[in-house]
Structure formats: structure tokens, C-alpha cells
Amino acid sequence: MPFKPHHSLSTLSHQHHICSRSPLRLEDHTHATAMGSSTQVNLAKTVARLVVNNLFALVAVAVASGVVWIWAWPIRPEEIVERMRALPPVHVLTAVILAAGVGKMWRIRRARDVYLVEYACFRPKPCYRTPFSTCLEHAHLMPYLADEESIAFGMRLLLRSGIGEETCAPVAYHYMPPDRSLRASREEAELVIFGAVEELFARTAPAITPADIDVLIVNCSVFTPVPVLADMVVHRYGLRADVKTVNLSGMGCSAGLISVGLARNVLQAAAPGTRVLIVSTEILSSQYYEGSERSMLLPNCLFRMGAVAMIMSSSADQARFRLRHAVRTVTAGRDADYRCVFQEEDGKGNTGVRLSKDLAATAGRALKDNIVAFGPLVLPASEQLLVALSVLKRKLVRLIGSGKVRARLYRPDFRTAFEHICIHAGGRGVIDEVQRGLGLSDDDVEASRMTLHRFGNTSSSSVLYELAYLEAKGRMGKGDRVWMISFGAGFDCNSVAWECVKPAADADGPWAECIARYPVQLPEIDKQEV
């Protein structure tokens, strides 16, 4: 008679006293032994990781202790003090001057710290919502722009995309046909950019005002009017006449983190206390694709309006995050990567952005290239040692074994280096590919998936919406490390590492009105569905 856990021991003991009690004791003993072994293994791994990560410090302490012991033994402590007092003053003075000089040279050569003082994301009003029903109705009312096959494809894409019903599109998309005029694009730019910048200055006032901005960087990939968007910001907020401005275009969704890297370079070379205002956005109104090619219909379905404004400085005053590293990888040398995100005309002369079906795989390859440069900067020594050993093992297998035998390289665990990971919300496939490639859990990519669901693909600003999600959830603590990953046309992959200096005092950001509803359960998709 098999033992059933929900039966009490007394019920079974009447007929099977020995048979029922012995397996229970054995099972409990086995479970306890397994738990104990698991705890011991985890403890051993933790101790080993601490030893390896602090190996140099341990060796230095051991060497210093040995030198002191050899030098002092068998002299008494009183004799050591007397010897130090007996040293000639010129020797002491020389040692002090040398130490001061070495310290000065180290400070000069050390890169100046750069900080994110504050950031703010554009929060669209409910009147801009574009639920699936509205998209379907408009498509059927405009048969001259899309046939039934294209409409069906678009709806399948929306249902599988991970985008929710509350994402927002500009006013131009709500007209039939959509308004692709220059005027509509300017109005959208003013709405999202001014909304984000005004929210930012409201957060930093009165300590930082528009008059305190020294450098302005604005990035928008496709829409570049004359005067440029940077001049529009200068005119709106009356920035100083000596403000330095940069307007970036054509870099796609990676432009936000590219701007962060550019700001870092400027601040490390500029006078201490310099402030840089960064504005990242994508203007959609003039980019609506009116053709029927599927690869060019994707942007119409995935992209939504958004913007973020940030103030960065070389001063730690009021800083929220410290910038640790920024690494950019460009893979445009590969033909497939270069044409992965490509603006062109279709066979009928309709202009749009073509997204390759291999976009997710291309992002995965670019991320691998990026990690080669980024990993050594952030991974603890224990993880780097495991990677080095796996590389050595592969080389030995190739030398000793046959050519058919291959040793797998160790996949480093970036969760040992970061508490939070923000992956560009470029689409469900992109997030899936990065999660699989890095071995991340669903909790690790929650911020990315929820940002895609609530706001859609907001291009270069999406990683800051994800940071705002983490802060709105109260998960960001002092000292927490954040890894931001973005992808863009070119093909580009960018990694930026932050360290939290001061968590948000409140959650009054773009998630303020809806954070209680998240996370939500996303619908499962059929991998075999076309």
C-alpha cells in the first residue's frame, strides 16, 4: 500500500506500523540531507566567490603582514617605535612628498565621476490611447491604405507583440488618413519634449533652472526639422547664449544611451560642475507607413510616442545615480546588421523603415560583441576567472581532442554584478532573445516587459521608463547597480552601468496612475503561428 502524504500516520499505523513509519523517516532524512548539502554547496560557492573577488586584497594584506613580521621580529614594539623616531627628518619628508605626488598623479589620471542628477519621462494623457479596437476600425475605414491581408497581419502582430491597450500614439495617427505633415510632427515634438523637460525642471527647482544648463543634447532618429529640435528647446526655455548644443539623428533606439556616453565625455573634459541636459525621443507623425509590405508595417504596430529628459553633471550635489561605465558597439561592418533597420521606399514609392525578420537574432549577436568589452569592466573576478577557465578548456579540447568535439564556453552570471537590468523594450522577440542569451529570470526582465505593455516601444527613451518602473515599485535601493541595454540602427548595441546614490523620494513618475496594476500576466503565444 503506497504512502499518501495527506493521510495521518495514526491512520496507517494500525495495519502497516513498520511499513508506513520507516519510509517516512527515510524520506525526511533524505530531504534533510539534500537541504543540508545544498546549503553547504551555496555556502562554499559564496566563500569561493568572496575569496576570488578579493584575492588581490588578501594577497596584499598577507605580504604586508609578512614584511612587517620579518622586519620587526624579534624586536619588541617599543624598539620599533624608537627606530621610526630615529629616522632622519629628510627621509620622512621625502617619503611624504613622494606619497603626495603619487596621490596627485592618481587623481589627475583618474576619470572624473559623472552623475545623473534627475530624469523625467513624458506621461501621455488618456486621450491619446490607441486600443486594438480603434486600430482595427481605422484600418477597415481606410481600405485605400491597407488590404484585408495586411490588416489581418497587423492585428496578429499586435496580439503577439506584448503591447497593451493603453499605449498612446500622437494626434496625427488618430486622423483618417493619418496626418503626415511637417506641422503635425512639430506639434508632436513640442508635446512630448516640452512635457518631459518641464517635468524635469519641476523636479529640480529651485536648485537647477534652465539658466544653469551648460550643454544640451537632443536625439531623435528620423525627424530632423530646420531649425533642429535642440534649437527648439533653447528657444522655448531661454537657455543661455553660450550654451553648447548637439542634435543627434539617424541612430535609432540606441541614441538615448549614445547621448549618455557623449555627455560623459563632455563632462570629464569640461569644468567641474558643468550640467548637461539630454532629451531623447522619437517623433512618429511623419513616419506612418502607407504601404502593405509586412516588414515595413512593423513600426506602425510597435512604436508609440514618448520622451525622456535627463540632467547629468560632474558634481555629486543632488545626484540620483553615478555613471560607472558606458560601452558602445557598432556592427555596421556586417551587411546583414547594416540593413537590419533600414529606411527606404517600397516598390510603390512609399517611404518607411524596414525591420528585418532577423532583428532579434541580430540584437543577440551585437550584444555578444558588446559584452566582450563591457563584461571585464563590471563582472566580479570570480565570474571572469570562470570565463577564462572555460576558454582555456575549449582551446585544450581543440588541441587534444578531435575537431568534432567542442567545449561550451561559460556564460557569466551578470546578476552577480547588477541588481537590476533594463533591456530596451524594442519588442517581445528582442526581450526574449536577451533573456535567453543572458540566462535571466522572468523577474529580471519584468521592467522591460511591463514597459512594453504599458507604453509600447518608445524608442531611445524606453530604458528610462523601465528605470521609473523599478523606482515606482520601490525596488531601487542605495548602492543598487543597474545595467541598461539598448539596440539601434547601424546596427548598434549600447551598455550603460549606473549605481544608485539616492533612491526616489516618491513614485510620482509616468507610472504613478497605473503602477498598482502591474505586473500583469501577458498572454502566451504560439511559436509556430505565422
Q: Give the largest Cα separation in the chain, rounded.
A: 98
Contact assessment for residue 476 and residue 470, using Cβ atoms and an 8 Å cutoff: yes
The residue type found at 85 is: R
Per the listing, cell 519510509 goes with 23
d(Cα 398, Cα 13) in Å, to the nearest integer?
Answer: 61
Helices (H), 340-422: 359-378, 381-400
Give the Cα-Cα-Cα angle 222, 228, 232 (nearest 5 degrees): 120
Q: What is the mean pLDDT of residues 66-82?
A: 65
Which pTM was predicted? Answer: 0.82
- How far is the CA of 496 from the CAs of 140, 246, 313, in angstroms? 43, 20, 16
Res 144: pLDDT: 80
451-463 pLDDT per residue, tens? 999 999 999 999 9
Which cell is 530 given? 505565422
Task: Say what the pLDDT of residue 60 is.
Answer: 63
Q: Cα-flanking dihedrals φ and ψ of residue 421, to 5°? A: -130, 125
Residue in 213, 252, 260, 250 with CA at minimum distance from that of residue 233: 213
Pairwise CA distance, residues 409 & 386, whole Å: 9
pLDDT in tens, 304-347: 999 999 999 999 999 999 999 999 999 999 999 999 999 999 99
All residues at 6 or more sequence positions from 523 whose CB lies less than 8 Å from its CB, including other chains = 159
The pLDDT value recorded for residue 452 is 97
Query: Measuring CA to CA, which residue among 170, 168, 172, 173 is closest to residue 129?
Result: 168
Closest CA to 282 of 250, 234, 311, 258: 250
pLDDT at 68 > cutoff 80? no
Whether the Cβ atoms of residue 263 and residue 502 lie closer than 8 Å to each other: no
Q: Which of 205-214, 276-285, 515-524 has the lowest mean pLDDT?
A: 515-524
Cβ-contact 41, 33 below 8 angstroms: no
Range 143-160 average pLDDT: 85
pLDDT in the model for residue 349:
93
Does position 16 have pLDDT exceeding 50, yes or no?
no
Taking Cα atoms as reference points, which of 155, 269, 274 lies closest to residue 213? 274
Task: Say if CB 146 and CB 292 are below 8 A apart.
Answer: yes
Q: Cα 315 from chain centroid?
A: 23
- Over residues 234-246, the pLDDT tens digits come to 999 999 999 999 9
* Cβ-proximal residues to 322 (8 Å cutoff; 6+ apart), any chain: 113, 114, 115, 116, 316, 498, 499, 501
Tracing cell 561559460 back to the chain, one arrives at 410
pLDDT band, very low/low/confident/very high, at 51 (cuts 50, 70, 90): low
| DSSP code, position 505 | S
* Percent of the chain predicted with pLDDT > 90: 62
Chain-wide mean pLDDT for the chain? 85
